[in-house]
Amino acid sequence: MSEKTFLEHIQKGYKHQGDEIVLGASIYQDKVHSDALVRLPLKTFNRHGLIAGATGTGKTKTLQILAEHLSHKGIPSLVMDLKGDLSGLGASGTQEDFIKERHQKIGVEYTPNAAPLEFLSLSEEKGIRLRATVSEFGPILLSKILSLTDVQSSIMAVLFKYCDDQKLPLVDLEDLKKVLNHCITDGKEEIQSAYGSMSPVSVNTIIRAIVQLEQQGAAKFFAEPSFEVNDLMQTREGKGVISVLRLIDIQSKPRLFSTFMLSLLSEVYNTFPEKGDLDKPELVLFIDEAHLIFDNASKVFLEQLEAIIKLIRSKGVGIFFITQLPTDIPQEILSQLGMKIQHALRAFTAKDRQSIKLTAENFPLTDFYNTDELLTSLGIGEALVTALDENGVPTPLVATYMRAPMSRMDVLSAQEINEITKQSNLIEKYSKEIDAQSAKEILSKKIDEAQSEEHQKQIKEEHKKASKTVKKKSVFESMSKNTMVRQIGRTVVREITRGLLGALGIRSTSRRKKWF
CA distance 470 to 483: 17
pLDDT for res 443: 64
Q: What is the mean pLDDT of each run of 10 residues along the chain (516 residues)?
A: 89 89 95 95 94 92 96 96 89 93 95 94 81 85 85 92 88 90 88 88 93 84 87 94 86 73 86 90 92 76 85 94 90 92 87 84 89 91 94 93 95 91 86 63 63 57 60 48 43 37 35 31
| Residue 271, in any domain of the structure | yes
Q: Name the domain boundary from 221, 250, 272.
A: 221
CA distance 50 to 323: 8
pLDDT for res 471: 52
Q: Number of structural domains, the chain?
A: 3
Does residue 36 come out as left (phi exceeding 0), alpha (psi in the -120 to 50 range) or beta?
beta
Q: State the residue range of the domain holding 444.
A: 439-515
Q: Name the domain boundary from 174, 198, 221.
A: 221
| Residue 24, in any domain of the structure | no
| Residue 23, in any domain of the structure | no
Residues 171 and 127 in one domain: no
Exposure string of 398-437, with b = 16+ CB inside 10 Å and e = fewer, is: bbbbbbbbbbbbebbeeebbeebbeebebeeebeeeeeee
| Residue 91, in any domain of the structure | yes
Residues 200 and 284 in one domain: no
Residues 111 and 164 in one domain: no
Residues 182 and 48 in one domain: no
CATH of the domain at 261: 3.40.50
Residues 312 and 250 in one domain: yes
Residues 182 and 242 in one domain: no
- Specify whether the CB–CB gap between 38 and 25 falls below 8 A: yes
pLDDT for res 515: 30
| Residue 368, in any domain of the structure | no
Strands (E), 326-377: 339-342
Which pairs from 179-188 meet CB under 8 Å and 24+ separation? Answer: 179/439, 179/443, 180/206, 180/207, 180/210, 181/207, 182/443, 182/447, 183/155, 183/159, 186/447, 186/450, 187/443
**Could you please report the per-residue DSSP string of 192-228?**
HHHH----HHHHHHHHHHHHHHHHTTHHHHB-BSPPP
Residues 230 and 317 in one domain: yes
Residues 197 and 228 in one domain: no
- Collapsed DSSP state (helix, strand, coil) of residue 149: coil
10 Å CB burial of residue 35 (0-12, 13-18, 19+) is: exposed
Q: Name the domain boundary from 164, 197, 221.
A: 221
Residues 103 and 48 in one domain: yes
- Collapsed DSSP state (helix, strand, coil) of residue 313: helix
Rg (CA), the chain: 33
- Specify whether the CB–CB gap between 105 and 25 falls below 8 A: yes
Distance set, CA 45 to CA 77, 282, 296, 307, 320 (Å): 12, 10, 29, 18, 9
10 Å CB burial of residue 295 (0-12, 13-18, 19+) is: exposed
Strands (E), 207-336: 235-236, 239-240, 242-246, 283-287, 317-323
pLDDT for res 448: 61
| Residue 471, in any domain of the structure | yes
Residues 311 and 417 in one domain: yes
Residues 484 and 416 in one domain: no
3-state helix, strand, coil in the chain (%, to 5): 50, 15, 35
| Residue 469, in any domain of the structure | yes
| Residue 422, in any domain of the structure | yes
- Specify whether the CB–CB gap between 236 and 229 falls below 8 A: no
φ and ψ at 218, to 5 degrees?
A: -70, -20
Q: pTM of the predicted model, to two decimals?
A: 0.79
Residues 302 and 424 in one domain: yes
pLDDT for res 27: 96
